[in-house]
């Protein structure tokens, strides 16, 4: 697998040189400064490519676009969408003209990945991202006051949510809102509570099937162009893989993925295998999902989570959570060998370590939540060790 690193651009406190020190060669990047729905021009794409490749001694190249965002009106199915589709198609053409071939995207309504704690304390002074179900319910039920927010939660969770809210200060509530908003990287609107309520209102009545239909419409509009220009698009699973704030989520399990890949049956309609997102669903067999859809996996996010019975979870060490990372890497390496034997020019799967712990010199540096330098370096080193061991045992690369 091609060892890669997510870099957020010139404003990222983690530098390209540090990515190379960690052992990465591929840089996963996006033009976060461009608002959703606006065309990415060739000039802007080439300018970013030049920054990444500027120091030839590093040997870095932009290998994956993460992400080319989808405008919220597409997810809602609101108004005349053809201009938005046309801009997206043009961005795909421009990326292809600049040599980019893998585009990661997601179809999560309103919010991207969602956590309630960004600095959960670890032994020795490090921190991790964490999703606490009672804090999420406190926000949804008591701060948003969303009708129906209590449905589906146990009395014990509701009691804990009520206790948290009663003892919380305004600073605690502001921090919780900021933490929930933190998963929105790049060109985005951050919401206050009234703004989030207003955004959720636009989705009133949206069902699981309705959101699916809007994704299918998007895929039908853009995948033919992706196929024409040689781009492999790959949807990122929901994070967490469950409905949030009354919004359906439609890329959370094996059945969802089967629907999406079958909606437009094309090699250009693929999957980003995110072991952490899928791993947060107790019903998901992540290596099994990877095995079933292996021929459509164009990108991999490798991370691990440790789940609690109440629905909470924490970002674990890359080899230390609930997902069998060795088994998953075996699946991905076997798929690479199958592609290579078949003569595919796209046999290698770009991977990156995801959501590392904040460790050592990371603490207090202000990196993007989940994307510190040392924590991801550790994760990549651990994953590299597994890849090396599996390849040696299986005779891959011999």
Query: Per residue in 123-171, pLDDT tens?
Result: 999 999 999 999 999 999 999 999 999 999 999 999 999 999 999 999 9
Catalytic residue among 134, 203, 274, 318: 274
Is residue 141 annotated as a catalytic residue, yes or no? no
Alpha helices by DSSP H, listed for the chain, are: 16-21, 42-53, 72-76, 82-97, 133-137, 155-167, 170-181, 193-202, 208-229, 254-263, 275-279, 286-292, 325-341, 373-394
- pLDDT of 398 strictly over 80: no
Query: Per residue in 328-369, pLDDT tens?
Result: 999 999 999 999 999 999 999 999 999 999 999 998 898 999
Euclidean distance between CA atoms 236 and 302, whole angstroms: 12
Is residue 191 annotated as a catalytic residue, yes or no? no
Is residue 371 annotated as a catalytic residue, yes or no? yes
- pLDDT of 238 strictly over 70: yes
Share of residues in the chain with pLDDT > 70 (%): 98
What pLDDT was estimated at residue 229? 98
Catalytic residue among 239, 354, 357, 362: 354
- pLDDT of 30 strictly over 80: yes
Which of 251, 246, 153 minimizes the C-alpha distance to 196?
Answer: 246
Is residue 98 annotated as a catalytic residue, yes or no? no
Helix, strand, coil shares, percent, the chain, to 5 = 45, 15, 40
Which of 68, 51, 69, 72 minimizes the C-alpha distance to 60?
Answer: 51
Catalytic residue among 71, 141, 236, 318: 236
Which of 257, 287, 282, 259 minimizes the C-alpha distance to 272?
Answer: 257
Strand partners, 273: 300
Euclidean distance between CA atoms 29 and 48, whole angstroms: 9
Tokens of 207: 């069902």
How far is it between the farthest Cα atoms of the chain? 62
What pLDDT was estimated at residue 187? 44
In angstroms and rounded to an integer, the radius of gyration of the C-alpha atoms of the chain is 20
Is residue 234 annotated as a catalytic residue, yes or no? no
Q: Report the DSSP pairing between strands 117-121 and 127-131.
A: antiparallel
Catalytic residue among 120, 136, 191, 371: 371
**H-helix or E-strand spanning residue 28:** strand 26-29
What pLDDT was estimated at residue 191? 83
What pLDDT was estimated at residue 49? 97
- Strands laid side by side in the 117-121 sheet: 117-121, 127-131, 313-316, 304-307
What pLDDT was estimated at residue 189? 63
- pLDDT of 185 strictly over 70: no
**H-helix or E-strand spanning residue 234:** strand 232-235
Query: Per residue in 53-112, pLDDT tens?
Result: 999 999 999 999 998 999 999 999 999 999 999 999 999 999 999 999 999 999 999 988
Query: Per residue in 319-335, pLDDT tens?
Result: 999 999 999 999 999 99
What pLDDT was estimated at residue 364? 86
Count of Cβ atoms closer than 10 Å to residue 96 Cβ: 17
Say which residue the tokens 């460790």 belong to: 359
Catalytic residue among 141, 153, 318, 355: 355
Confidence band of 263 (pLDDT split at 50, 70, 90): very high
Confidence band of 183 (pLDDT split at 50, 70, 90): confident
What pLDDT was estimated at residue 26? 98
Which of 253, 336, 247 minimizes the C-alpha distance to 297?
Answer: 336
Can you list the domains of the chain with their CATH numbers?
2-110+205-394 (3.20.20.150), 117-199 (no CATH)
Catalytic residue among 301, 318, 357, 362: 301
Is residue 236 annotated as a catalytic residue, yes or no? yes
Mean pLDDT value across residues 293-318:
97
């Amino acid at each position: 697998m091609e060892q890669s690193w997510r870099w957020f651009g010139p404003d990222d406190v983690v530098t390209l040189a540090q990515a190379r020190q960690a052992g990465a060669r591929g840089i996963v990047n996006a033009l976060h400064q461009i608002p959703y729905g606006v065309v990415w021009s060739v000039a802007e794409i080439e300018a970013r490519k030049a920054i990444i490749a500027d120091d030839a001694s590093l040997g870095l190249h932009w290998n994956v676009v993460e992400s080319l965002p989808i405008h919220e009106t597409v997810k809602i199915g609101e108004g005349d969408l053809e201009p938005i589709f046309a801009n997206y198609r043009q961005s795909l053409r421009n990326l292809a003209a600049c040599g980019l071939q893998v585009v990661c995207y997601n179809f999560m309504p309103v919010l991207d990945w969602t956590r309630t704690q960004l600095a959960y304390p670890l032994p020795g002074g490090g921190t991790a991202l964490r999703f606490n179900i009672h804090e999420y319910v406190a926000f949804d039920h008591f701060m948003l006051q969303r009708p129906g927010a209590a449905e589906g939660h146990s009395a014990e969770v509701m009691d804990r949510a009520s206790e948290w809210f009663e003892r919380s200060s305004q600073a605690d509530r502001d921090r919780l809102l900021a933490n929930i908003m933190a998963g929105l990287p790049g060109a985005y609107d951050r919401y206050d509570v009234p703004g989030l309520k207003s955004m959720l209102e636009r989705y009133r009545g949206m069902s699981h099937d309705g959101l699916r239909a809007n994704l299918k419409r998007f895929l039908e509009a853009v995948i033919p162009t992706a196929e024409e220009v040689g781009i492999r698009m790959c949807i990122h699973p929901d994070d967490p893989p469950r409905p949030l704030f009354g919004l359906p989520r439609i890329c959370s399990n094996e059945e969802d993925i089967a629907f999406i890949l079958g909606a437009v049956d094309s090699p250009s309609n693929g999957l980003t295998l995110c072991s952490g997102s899928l791993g947060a669903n107790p019903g998901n067999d992540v290596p099994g999902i990877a095995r079933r859809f292996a021929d459509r996996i164009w990108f991999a996010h490798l991370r691990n989570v440790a789940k609690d019975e109440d629905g909470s979870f924490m970002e674990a060490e890359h080899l230390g959570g609930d997902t069998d990372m060795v088994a998953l890497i075996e699946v991905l390496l076997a798929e690479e060998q199958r592609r290579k034997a078949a003569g595919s020019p796209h046999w290698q799967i770009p991977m990156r370590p995801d959501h590392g712990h904040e460790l050592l010199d990371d603490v207090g540096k202000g990196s993007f939540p989940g994307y510190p330098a040392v924590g991801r370096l550790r994760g990549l080193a651990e994953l590299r060790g597994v890849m090396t061991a599996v390849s040696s045992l299986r005779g891959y690369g011999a």
